[in-house]
Amino acid sequence: MTAGVPGFGLARVLLFIDSRTESRHDQPHAPMTRSPLAGKLPPADLLIDVAKLQVAYFNEVPDPAIATQRVSFGTSGHRGSAFDRTFNEHHVLAISEAICRYRREQGHDGPLFLGIDTHALSRPAAESALEVLAAHGVEVMLAADDDYTPTPVISHAILGYNRGRTSGLADGIVITPSHNPPADGGFKYNPPHGGPADTAVTRWIEAEANRLLEAGLAGVPRVPHAAALRAATTHRHDYRTPYIDDLGAVIDMDGIRGAGLRLGVDPMGGAGVHYWQQIADRHRLDLTVVSEVVDPTFAFMPVDWDGKIRMDPSSTDAMQRLIAIGDRFDIAFACDTDHDRHGIVTQSGLLPPNAYLAVMVDHLFRTRDEWSAAAAVGKTVVSSSMIDRVAASLGRRLHEVPVGFKWFVDGLFDGSLGFVGEESAGASFLRRDGTVWSTDKDGFIPALLAAEIMAGSGKDPAERYAALTSEHGEPVYDRVEAGATPAQKTRLAKLSPDAVTSDTLAGERIEAVLSHAPGNDAAIGGIKVSTASGWFAARPSGTEDIYKIYAESFRGRPHLEAIIDEAQAIVDTALA
């Protein structure tokens, strides 16, 4: 096997049964060497130079003739780094102009809710975007006191404004690269439904933005930032109070308070940093915010498994700060930088994301009496089949979609999906009365739901998950990844079921080979192969030159290893 061919040196990045365990494999999918910095505070030479990064944002000009330097919307917006000329002012100006043109074409003339997270490039990008938005006379809602605004709060604000309206509808922009490293920037557009824009919308915006880049931004109006701030169309908005006051509509805050639970939260220096204490005060919770430090270098963050700084609440390495003090609380939780992902720490440690998704499904559909009997469970094709088994035991329909939260938006909006979740610790669910809460991922409410679960049952989510495994079996889950060229990624994304010629997988009869998700018949961007007690899915990354294999077995680790080996052989053959 030659270098550059998929399958060479696959890296293990997530274990389902216990994310603290490191497992080794024989070639060809031996894990990448774990960084000696993993779980430790970063040394000075790993920290970004914020000033240099921001200078690069303004001064470096992307070349649209280079594919990697063009605007590219992945599963959740455009992301990149100023140092790589993948997230620079030219990108932001072009995307902002494209959004203005899209709004005009669609007749969206209500306010635009604009939020940022705490990454170093977020505030400069917001300034650039406002200069274009103000030049177009867009009514822009900026956070009061120049505060940060979490992704779910933007969704909540859009939905709240649009409720009952048929014209003058609001939409939004969230400037965040989510849990990505400190040097990254990100830019997302949320239409009037409040959630991530669908593929048709992002393709339109992406194509128009790249056309503008190719034209050297000709035709892009802007006004000086100081003038944009003074514009009659620029407004200050209190995002925090309406969202926090409304939490009782989605979570049993009275039950949490009545149970007297000791709660801890780590905002990870993210956009929700100023929300949690107000949540505690407003709802009278015994909640300790373990740190309110905001530092764009994220020097306080333990290093992730591969030696990079990520604000990932599903990573045991990144969560070491909270895990180390978890015994001070009955339950503790954390959210990533834009607060659209969650991590739950019990007395047993960090609960793997897939496990908690299953626990949430079980709890919500047993306790939300006002939800429609037809409300379904939404999951991505690479999330654990434990969710399938729990949904079946509850008599709930399963709605399985490709990777990307945009596929859940319509179901959340109309209430046909009661709960939706993805394996990377993103989730949302309906209000207690069965109406829409948020159409984007919301890290706050899964975190608070963990407290509700413990308050109502006397058992933490890890104990609840143990009960589910006793009933439904105990899965082991893994995700592995390897380098892939853009051409190889394209071939994998278009792989058809015909690529799988065997009738069996790891000794079991293959029951399904899918290139399209069963929930909505949308292309997976790869394939998924399932048996009675295991499955794997292979798909390319939307933002990196890698591909990923996800796999799960209900028959134990050796069976999972066999699934991964055979999955690897299938992908290697298809991409050779």
Q: What does the DSSP assignment read for 525-550? A: EEEEEE-SSEEEEEEE-SSSSEEEEE
- CA 377 centroid distance within chain: 18
Distance between CA atoms of 347 and 328, rounded to whole angstroms? 9
User: What are the residue ranges of helices labelled H in 458-555?
Assistant: 461-472, 486-493
How crowded is residue 387: how many other Cβ atoms within 10 Å of its Cβ? 24
Helix (H, G, I), strand (E, B), or coil: what is residue 73?
strand
- SS3 per-residue string spanning 400-411: EECCCHHHHHHH
Catalytic residue annotation? 178
Distance between CA atoms of 309 and 318, rounded to whole angstroms? 8
Identify the burial level of 224 via C-beta atoms within 10 angstroms of its C-beta, where 0-12 means exposed, 13-18 middle and 19 or more buried: exposed
Beta-strand (E) ranges in 259-298? 263-266, 287-289
Spatial neighbors of 562 by CB under 8 A, at least 6 apart, are 506, 507
> Phi/psi at 371 (nearest 5 deg)?
-70, 150
Spatial neighbors of 82 by CB under 8 A, at least 6 apart, are 53, 54, 56, 57, 60, 88, 121, 183, 185
Distance between CA atoms of 141 and 111, rounded to whole angstroms? 7
Q: How many secondary structure helices (H) and strands (E) does the chain include? A: 17, 24
